[in-house]
C-alpha cells in the first residue's frame, strides 16, 4: 500500500514540476518577444538620433526627402534646422530645439537600455529556475523506475 502511495505522490510531483516548467517556458518566450521589441525600438531611436545629427549639420534651404509614412517620401526643402516638432503623446506636438530633442532621445535610450537589462535579468533567472526544475524532474523520473 505504501508503494502505491509513493508512486502516486511521485507522479503528482512529476506533473507539478512539468507544468511549472511549461509555465516558465511560456514566460521566457514572452520575455524574448519583449526583448526583440525593445531592440527594434532602440534601433528606431538610434536612427532618429542620427537623423537629428544630420539635420544639425544641414543648412537652411537644403533639399531633403520627408517621409509620408510606409516607405513613401516627398522631396522637400529644409527651412529651419534649429527646431523640430516632438510628439509628446496623444497626438500633441511641441516645438523643441534640436538639442532639446537630442536630450529627450538620450533619456529614451537610457530608459530602453534599463528595461532591456531588466528583461535580460528576468530571462536569466527563469532559465536558471527551468534548469533546476529539469534536474528535479530527472531525479523524480529516476526514482519512479
The angle that helices 98-144 and 2-57 make with each other, rounded to 10 degrees, is 160
Residues 96/84, Cβ–Cβ less than 8 Å: yes
Q: Please tell me the predicted confidence (pLDDT) of residue 55.
A: 87
Residue 39, classed as helix, strand or coil, is: helix
Residue 142: pLDDT over 90: no
What confidence tens digit (pLDDT) does each residue in 89-138 have?
A: 898 999 999 889 999 999 999 999 999 999 999 999 999 999 999 999 99
What confidence tens digit (pLDDT) does each residue in 10-66 have?
A: 889 999 999 999 999 999 999 999 999 999 999 999 999 998 888 888 888 899 888
Of the candidates 116, 85, 89, 90, the residue with the CA atom closest to the CA atom of residue 101: 85
107's grid cell: 533619456
The fold adopted by the segment(s) 2-102+111-144 is Helix Hairpins (1.10.287)
> How many helical (H) and strand (E) elements, i.e. helices and strands, does the chain have?
2, 4
DSSP string, 81-130: SSEEEEEEETTEEEEEEHHHHHHHHHHHHHHHHHHHHHHHHHHHHHHHHH
Cα–Cα distances (Å) from 68 to 50, 71, 91, in that order, read 19, 7, 16
Query: How far apart are the C-alpha atoms of 8 and 14, rounded to whole Å?
Result: 10
Q: Please tell me the predicted confidence (pLDDT) of residue 77.
A: 92
Torsion angle, CA of 67/68/73/77, rounded to 10 degrees? -70
Amino acid at each position: 500500500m505504501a508503494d502505491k502511495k509513493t508512486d502516486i505522490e511521485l507522479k503528482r510531483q512529476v506533473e507539478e514540476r512539468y507544468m511549472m516548467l511549461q509555465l516558465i517556458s511560456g514566460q521566457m518566450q514572452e520575455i524574448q518577444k519583449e526583448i526583440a521589441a525593445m531592440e527594434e525600438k532602440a534601433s528606431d531611436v538610434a536612427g532618429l538620433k542620427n537623423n537629428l545629427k544630420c539635420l544639425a549639420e544641414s543648412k537652411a534651404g537644403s533639399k531633403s526627402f520627408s517621409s509620408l509614412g510606409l516607405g513613401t517620401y516627398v522631396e522637400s526643402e529644409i527651412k529651419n534646422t534649429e527646431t523640430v516638432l516632438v510628439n509628446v503623446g496623444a497626438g500633441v506636438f511641441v516645438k523643441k530645439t534640436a538639442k532639446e530633442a537630442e536630450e529627450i532621445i538620450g533619456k529614451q535610450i537610457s530608459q530602453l537600455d534599463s528595461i532591456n537589462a531588466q528583461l535580460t535579468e528576468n530571462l536569466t533567472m527563469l532559465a536558471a529556475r527551468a534548469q533546476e526544475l529539469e534536474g528535479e524532474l530527472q531525479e523524480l523520473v529516476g526514482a519512479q523506475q
